[in-house]
Amino acid sequence: MSSGFFLLKFQSSKYIDDMYNRDYLYFSPLNNFRGNVKNENGREDPREGDISLNNIYDITISIDEQNIGHAKSGIITKYLDDPAYKICSFYMMRYDSNFNPFPIDARITQKGDKALFIHDYVNFFHALDNSCQSLKSSRNIIQYYDPKSYRGELSLFHKDEYFAFENEFRIIIESDHINGMEIPLDTMKKHVTLLNTADLVGDKIRLEPI
């Protein structure tokens, strides 16, 4: 028997309650996630949106065949900064083949005092797809990489391994709207349960096959 997962979205009760009560998901612009200083909140990530990571090898600099300097190898990074891309992120709460949930990292629970618990993600995604028919959308598990050793192409589904504790599942939509977007989900309450973050700490959650 293979393992599985549920999805959780942690945030302050102000935003979680509003999404749940008004039946929508909020998608933030890509540039809201990129910043200058890496921190554990998963935002303001200097590498967010990187799409290429490549070496610069040792370089000799010359003018008219006269050597004027030498540069050590480094890294060239290309990144995407397009407000058309909107992101909604979730924590993947995994469980093993015996239905034992893996502990949730304490750093995740500090993201907010409430969470949307997506217990039926198959129908949740189906409802979301119906709401996004006029938009280009994609979703996937985030792949974490070591920026010190990785070289090659990247996508918006890649993140610095520093953030691996987030176990992120990401949904991306593309829209001409500059700001964030509320995507309606009329069947939200059929697939989602509202929980206090405190209820997810420790070993309170029990899963049993029917």
What are the tens digits of pLDDT across the range 88-146? Answer: 999 999 888 888 888 888 888 888 999 999 989 999 999 999 999 989 999 999 999 88
For 42: left if phi > 0, alpha if psi spans -120 to 50, otherwise beta; the answer is left
Total domains in the chain come to 1
Q: Residue 87 pLDDT > 70, yes or no?
A: yes
DSSP 202: T
Q: Tell me the residue range of the domain where 117 lies.
A: 4-200
Asked whether residue 171 is domain-assigned, the answer is yes
Asked whether residue 208 is domain-assigned, the answer is no
| Cβ-proximal residues to 174 (8 Å cutoff; 6+ apart), any chain | 84, 85, 86, 135, 136, 137
pLDDT in tens, 31-71: 887 766 666 665 667 677 776 666 545 566 666 777 756 55
Asked whether residue 206 is domain-assigned, the answer is no
Asked whether residue 209 is domain-assigned, the answer is no
Asked whether residue 174 is domain-assigned, the answer is yes
CA distance 124 to 64: 64
- Whole-model pTM above 0.85? no
Asked whether residue 207 is domain-assigned, the answer is no
Asked whether residue 210 is domain-assigned, the answer is no
With residues binned 3-state (H G I as helix, E B as strand, rest as coil), the percentages for the chain, rounded to 5, are 20, 40, 40
Asked whether residue 79 is domain-assigned, the answer is yes
Q: How many residues does the chain have?
A: 210
